[in-house]
Structure 1
Amino acid sequence: MSTDITAVPRPLEAGAEMRDLARFHRDITWSGTIQPGGMGPGSPRMTAVGEGRHELIQDGLWIVGNYQQDQFLTDGTFVLRWHLHWVAGWDPTAQEYRATVADNYGHTEILRGWIDGDLLTFESIGTPPVRIRLFWHIADAHTIIWRNEASIDRQPFKLVERYECHPVEP
């Protein structure tokens, strides 16, 4: 008895979309500011430093990022350490980038994304009460400007935080 293995769907192969996406996912460190109210009503202005590390999985179909960030009051008082797990790649069915996030606040979300030249944008799918929009702008060979905006209850997006990111030194 012979079985026709050509009837079995084959895994996808990474294409140009993943090469384009990888430009924005470098191992980095960053520093910057969190706006007053950015972490919720009444939250203070803070500074932050962090780092992100990336790896390819499933033969390059997905980029996994693990991030951590220490946040401080403007007088230097430590407030918290934030962690995020990120998985991003090209969704051929939707014909757009997709990403999932999970952080140590218990927040999970699926985002859609697109690239326009040196700007990568991801934003919340649907209309959850809090929508996020994330931007990576390649400013030059050594700098990515990253910012996070939020919209609460369908109000206009407002800046939450902005960071200047630089490659991790080997």
Structure 2
Amino acid sequence: MTTDLTAVPRPLEAGPEMQALARFHRDITWTGTIQPGGMGPGSPSMTAVGEGRHEVIQDGLWIVGNYQQDQFLTDGTFVLRWQLHWVAGWDPGAQEYRATVADNYGHTEILRGWIDGDQLTFESIGTPPVRIRLFWQLADAHIVIWRNEASVGGGPYQLVERYVCSILEG
């Protein structure tokens, strides 16, 4: 008796979409600012320093990022440490990039993304009360400008935070 192994679905292989996505997912450190009200009504302006580390999993189909940043009042007073777990890759069924996020505020979300030249954009899927839009702009071989915008209740997107990210060598 022979078994037809061609009937068993095979795992996908990473394609050129993942090579394109990897340009934006390099180990980084950053500094930048959080806008007043960016973390909710009445929240103060803050500065932040952080880092992100990445690894490729499942034979190159997904990029995993772990990020953390310390946030400070403008006088230098420590406020909090934020942490985020990120998984991004190409969804062949949707024909677009997809990412999941989970942070230490208990926030989870699925985002859709696309690349236009040297800019990667991800945005919320659906109509959650707060929609986010994230941008990675490759400034040069060593610098990425990253920004986060939010739309509350279907209103216009507003800048939440902006960072100059230095790509770590090695």
Note whether the superposition's TM-score is higher than 0.5. Answer: yes
Letter in 2 for 1:100: T
Show the counterpart of 1:138.
138
Show the counterpart of 2:40.
40
Measure, in 2, the Cα distance between the counterparts of 1:53 and 1:109.
Answer: 20
Measure, in 1, the Cα distance between the counterparts of 2:89 and 2:71.
Answer: 29
**Which contiguous aligned blocks of 4+ residues in structure 1 show a shift greater than 2 angstroms?**
none
Letter in 2 for 1:121: T
Show the counterpart of 1:53.
53
Measure, in 1, the Cα distance between the counterparts of 2:6 and 2:43.
Answer: 58
Matched, 1:83 2:83: yes
TM-score (norm 2): 0.99
Cα pair distance change 1:127/1:136, threshold 3 Å: same
Measure, in 1, the Cα distance between the counterparts of 2:159 and 2:117.
Answer: 22
1:169 Cα deviation from its structure 2 partner:
4.7
Give per-residue Cα distances to partners, 1:44-101, cap 9 Å, x unaligned. 0000000000000000000000000000000000000000000000000000000000
1:2 Cα deviation from its structure 2 partner:
1.4
Measure, in 1, the Cα distance between the counterparts of 2:169 and 2:61.
Answer: 26
Matched, 1:97 2:135: no
TM-score (norm 1): 0.99
Measure, in 1, the Cα distance between the counterparts of 2:40 and 2:6.
Answer: 54
Give per-residue Cα distances to partners, 1:120-146, cap 9 Å, x unaligned. 000000010000000000001110000
Identity %: 85
Matched, 1:6 2:33: no
Q: CA RMSD in A?
A: 0.6
Alignment gaps of 5+ in structure 1: none
Measure, in 1, the Cα distance between the counterparts of 2:140 and 2:46.
Answer: 26
Matched, 1:155 2:158: no
Measure, in 1, the Cα distance between the counterparts of 2:141 and 2:19.
Answer: 16
